[in-house]
Amino acid sequence: MKRRLLFIIALGISITMCSQNSIVESNNEFTFDVIHNVNKLDTSKDGENMFVSPFSIYDALAMAYDGANKKTATEMRKVMKFKKDQAESHKEFVQLLNEYKSNKSVFTITNAAVAQKDYNFLDSYMKCLKDFDATISQADFSKNEERVETVKKVNEWVSKNTNKKITDLLTKNDIDELTRLILLNAIYFNAKWAVEFKGEKTRQMTFYGKNSVEYVTDFMNGTQEVGLAESDDAGMMKIDYENGVASMYIIMPKENVDIDNYISKLDADLFKNLEKSMQSFKAEVSMPKFKIESRFEMKKVLMEMGIKAAFSKSADFSKMNGKSNLLIDEVIHKSFVEVSEKGTEAAAATAVVVREKSAIINKNPKVTINRPFVFVIKENKNNAILFIGKYVKPEKSK
């Protein structure tokens, strides 16, 4: 019977980077592939809000990818859009993480690992984990009491490193006596708007959901310096966070364009083209306050994207332990975002369980975000997209 290896990655948000590089481009392309496929999971009649951190998933998979070999590595490389070989991609990504670590004005990224006691992981793979600045501890997963204690400690670590926004990432059923490794990465983001919305201007307004269903919810209102752009089927607005370290982009399809159809066509190139065509304006902005919490089992999504061998009996993670007896069982992703008058707070968590075997803009535009929209959080130094979400209706109608 094949043994199994459990990776847990508690992930979330990050902000601030340097010059554009191939890893950033790869992450941004991966972002839109993720949202396309995650969005297919939404089979509800009226649609549901969703929020995901592809960057967090990317980080988690990057640690697993370092241990992959042959077809398993080839599929992961293709889906993750790596443009260089395994060693160079590792080097680039680690450099990016190191930059984030040294410049953490509105975000933190932390990595850790819990390894099976006395298990023979290759020194070369453990060095890869240390390159991620992972603090490595040990546990004996063969003992039930140690598994229970490990779950507790992992959940405490995740909660601490996401400002208590992601809790209970693991349950006692997520690990067993065949677990060999838990990889943890936590990312937390908290940023104020460059210009805060005034609370006294917040008032109830109508949001028009899918099929023109009307919801009454709290809208923030205020004068903002924004970027505005338009295509044939959507308009885009950019609002900056304090000191310009990051921005939120809101893409609202036009009234006759279905949000899900639009998402299916939205990719990195379309996003870049909209961004390039932006012009700056002082605008009267109305947009809903909102909070979204999402949870996804990502195995089906990632297999649809093309990572198949890693989840099968033919998986080859021999660069982890010198054997081809490990495979990914499931990838669980949890995320949180809250947008208020002051700014945005976000976090996310990913568990990777691996077994052995626009209208014309006038001079004084008024921008009202009152229909379903896509929103993107992007840092502005390297231009990496960190989060993407879909808002289709208020959580609770007033």
Identify whether the C-beta of residue 175 lies closer than 8 Å to the C-beta of residue 191: no
Neighbours of 122 (CB within 10 A): 15
CA distance 130 to 188: 21
Q: How is residue 6 written in tokens?
A: 């459990």
Give pTM, 2 decimals.
0.88
pLDDT computed for residue 326 by the predictor: 85
Identify whether the C-beta of residue 377 lies closer than 8 Å to the C-beta of residue 35: no
Where in the chain do CATH 3.30.497.10 domains reside?
4-191+291-356
Q: What share of the chain in percent tops pLDDT 70?
A: 90
pLDDT computed for residue 362 by the predictor: 47
Closest CA to 284 of 366, 227, 341: 366
Q: Kindly report which listed range (55-69, 119-133, 345-359) carries the lowest average pLDDT score.
A: 345-359
pLDDT (mean) for 288-312: 93
Where in the chain do CATH 2.30.39.10 domains reside?
192-288+359-391
**pLDDT of 265 over the 60 cut:** yes
Question: Considering the domain 192-288+359-391 in this protein, what is its CATH number?
Answer: 2.30.39.10
Q: Exposure of 42 by Cβ count < 10 A (0-12 exposed, 13-18 middle, 19+ buried)?
A: middle
Closest CA to 107 of 383, 375, 346, 387: 346
Average model confidence (pLDDT) for the chain? 87
pLDDT computed for residue 46 by the predictor: 62
For the domain 4-191+291-356, what is the CATH superfamily, name and number? Antithrombin, subunit I, domain 2 (3.30.497.10)
**Segment (H or E) for 98:** helix 86-102
Bridging pattern class, strands 4-9 and 343-356:
antiparallel
